[in-house]
Amino acid sequence: MEEKRVKIAEAKGRPMLHWVGKKPLDFIKSFPAQLVEVFDPTRKARQIENPTFEDLKENWQNLLFHGDNKEVLGFLLANGFRGKIDLVYIDPPFDSGANYIRKVELRGTKKKVEIEGEDYSAVEQIQYFDIWSNDAYFQFMYERLTLLKELLSDEGVIFLHCDPKRGHYLKLIMDEIFGPDYFRNEIVWHYMTYQGQVKRYFPWKHDTILFYTKTDNYPFKLLKKQNFEDNIDYKRWHRYIVNENEIRGDNYPETDSRFDVFIDKWKEENGGRKPTKDDVIYRLEGFTVDSVWDIKVEDPKSLNRTGYPTQKPEELLQRIIESASEKKALVLDCFMGSGTTQVVAQHMNRRWIGVDINKGSIQTTIKRLQKVIQEQSKNGKQKILNGDTEKPCLSFAHYKVNDYDLQLLRTEAIELAVQHIGIQRTKTDTFFDGALGKNLVKIIDFNHPLTLLDLQLIQDELKKRPDENRNITMVCLGKELAVDPFIEDYNKKHPVNKLEVIELRTDKKYGKFLIHKPAQAKVSIKRKGEKAQIEIKDFISPSIIERLNDEEKLIEIKIPDFRSMIDIVLIDTDYNRKVFNITYSDVPEKKKDLVEGKYELDIPKKKTTIAVKIIDMLGEEVLINEEI
């Protein structure tokens, strides 16, 4: 089977924005998905190991992906979702640089820049230092917007949330990818927030949302907003009625023939009966919603607040989804954050796909969705916005893409490797796992590296097959140092049955196969009288290191202090090993600030268990506890 590379169409729009390192996305490599969990209060949903659109189109299940959105979009393209997405809303990071690109906002770091594939002098690199991060950001957005266009249906629409710092650049990129003729609106979202004492510029009180379509054929509904202080139910007109022919109120004459028309129509529809003061004889439709939206940010005291500083109000997403999609449309947000798009889509009976690389985002979104779905599933009915009573999809499946937890059954690990490389399985062979082209394939147990013993077992098996003349491909996650020289010497002596290795962690042909390694911490916990002395000695997040060392990046980030990888430290000074009660929290106020790392806290005289919970910038937790 050939390598699984998904062809991407060329962007042909004008005008074009240029940046250092700009390159089209001709192909994207597809990684398999690993099913993590299914949420299904009805207990009727299927567990699909590798979801395809064909599997889901007749019996839909909403999808939540944990992984790099570029890799997840590639997975969707390779699995039948090309041209199937009806509405895309994305709220990408506005700031540039690899730390934001991967949503790994390291604390207190300075970026060191190295340019790949370009020959610049040290002076030129210093001179252009300020623009490198922009270039990386532009390429990052260019690639993802290209993939999103491929996924959109011919009737599909996309809403790109921007701020005034990046919006004009992103509009040029959108013009290039979608074409300027398919630009529909620049929506101004005006909000009210406190910004402190601003003296040298006007306070910033708006974001912009770029609205584009894939073709001229797309769904759209003009919305109405109220022009009085009325809420969505509208006030009854009895406040304006004095008698059958008189009305009162500002800007109304004592008699108005136009009002008679409303009364006559009401009589006609109600058997000739005259309206009373409690009858509604006319509903105000309000003004058409225009391109300036006055919508409040989420109230800090609201139960809907998740703690995400970039959380968008549900009303904003309601307006977008209602105006540009039909019921049961498929909505995608690949910069999911706190999951507002998915929550609103669930409320409004749209199918949805959510993606984020941040584990905290996944956890927050799952928690919010569970609450919504449990409410909808009560009594076999559901409560949806806008009076929709058709039953929505009440389940979702959570998958990982290329951040695999391989402390699992060997059979599942083999299946991931088979999907990733495109191995043709041979179920009748008790030793080899399949074929790749003309080669036999042996997948080495992922719980250990390829060793000389593994090579000896392969040789022993080949001796039993004197007529076998195919070469052997070994698939592994790593290999011992002695393996390469052994294979080189072996291949010189054997014209047939030559050996080759695909090392999934480093392979460039198929793309790096990322293995999830949990974060680790070294913490000192000591007692000094009635004080606990706590010090974080070391911390490492392999997931963050792996992402930052991606060879495709233009920017390399050095980590001078391990605390840069730590987002929050929480401490329980009397941990009962069941419930973690926060007695002290270290949450740096600014992104550039580091956690303290050293703490002295009051504790009881009796023995107590101190628990320290460290949460990294990807939302992964490490819990250390010790009795003192």
Q: Which of 468, 503, 538 is the last residue of a domain?
A: 503
**pLDDT digit string, tens, across residues 409-457:** 567 778 888 888 889 988 789 899 999 999 999 999 887 889 999 999 9
In this prediction, residue 275 carries a pLDDT of: 73
- 458 located within any domain: yes
Same domain, 384 and 415: no
Same domain, 141 and 218: yes
Q: CB within 8 A of 271, min separation 6: which ones?
A: none
Q: How confident is the model at residue 236 (pLDDT cuts 50, 70, 90)?
A: very low
- 350 located within any domain: yes
d(CA 538, CA 519): 11
Same domain, 277 and 331: no
- 530 located within any domain: yes
Greatest mean pLDDT range, 5-19, 469-483, 568-582? 469-483
What phi-psi label fits residue 210: left (phi over 0), alpha (psi between -120 and 50 degrees) or beta?
beta
Q: How confident is the model at residue 66 (pLDDT cuts 50, 70, 90)?
A: very high
In this prediction, residue 196 carries a pLDDT of: 67
Residue among 106, 86, 88 nearest 97 (CA) = 106
Tell me the C-alpha to C-alpha distance, in Å, between residue 21 and each of 11, 94, 101, 168, 547: 16, 20, 16, 20, 19
Same domain, 189 and 328: yes
**Greatest C-alpha distance within the chain:** 108
**pLDDT digit string, tens, across residues 597-614:** 999 999 988 999 999 989
Same domain, 260 and 301: no
In this prediction, residue 254 carries a pLDDT of: 43
Same domain, 219 and 266: no
Q: Which of 453, 475, 503 is the last residue of a domain?
A: 503
User: Could you tell me the two tokens for 65?
Assistant: 């992906």
d(CA 347, CA 372): 7
Which range of residues forms the domain containing residue 180? 16-94+135-223+290-401
pLDDT at 243 over 60: no
Q: Which of 371-375, 482-486, 534-538 has the lowest mean pLDDT?
A: 371-375
Same domain, 313 and 332: yes
Place of tokens 């570029």: 70
- The CATH number assigned to the domain holding 69 equals 3.40.50.150
pLDDT at 524 over 60: yes
Q: DSSP secondary-structure letter at 11?
A: P
pLDDT at 519 over 80: yes
Spell out a b/e string for 530-565, using b for 16 or more CB atoms within 10 Å of the CB, else e.
eebebebeebbbebbebbbeeeebbbebebeebbbb
Same domain, 87 and 189: yes
Q: CB within 8 A of 411, min separation 6: which ones?
A: none
Domain count, the chain: 4
Mean pLDDT of 40-69: 89
Same domain, 591 and 465: no
Predicted TM-score of the model (pTM): 0.69
Mean pLDDT of 146-155: 97
- 114 located within any domain: no
- 455 located within any domain: yes
* SS3 call for 331: strand
Q: How confident is the model at residue 85 (pLDDT cuts 50, 70, 90)?
A: very high
Same domain, 148 and 51: yes
- The CATH number assigned to the domain holding 611 equals 2.60.40.730
**pLDDT digit string, tens, across residues 268-318:** 888 888 777 667 666 555 678 899 999 988 776 666 766 666 788 999 999
In this prediction, residue 54 carries a pLDDT of: 95
**pLDDT digit string, tens, across residues 17-48:** 888 888 888 888 888 998 888 888 877 778 88
* Mean pLDDT, all residues of the chain: 81
In this prediction, residue 1 carries a pLDDT of: 36
pLDDT at 103 over 50: no
In this prediction, residue 611 carries a pLDDT of: 92
Same domain, 59 and 154: yes
- 101 located within any domain: no
d(CA 240, CA 235): 10
In this prediction, residue 228 carries a pLDDT of: 43
Same domain, 490 and 573: no
Q: Which of 363, 384, 401 is the last residue of a domain?
A: 401
Output Rg (C-alpha) for the chain, integer angstroms: 30
- 569 located within any domain: yes
- 120 located within any domain: no
Cα 477 from chain centroid? 27
User: Could you tell me the two tokens for 618?
Assistant: 């990807």
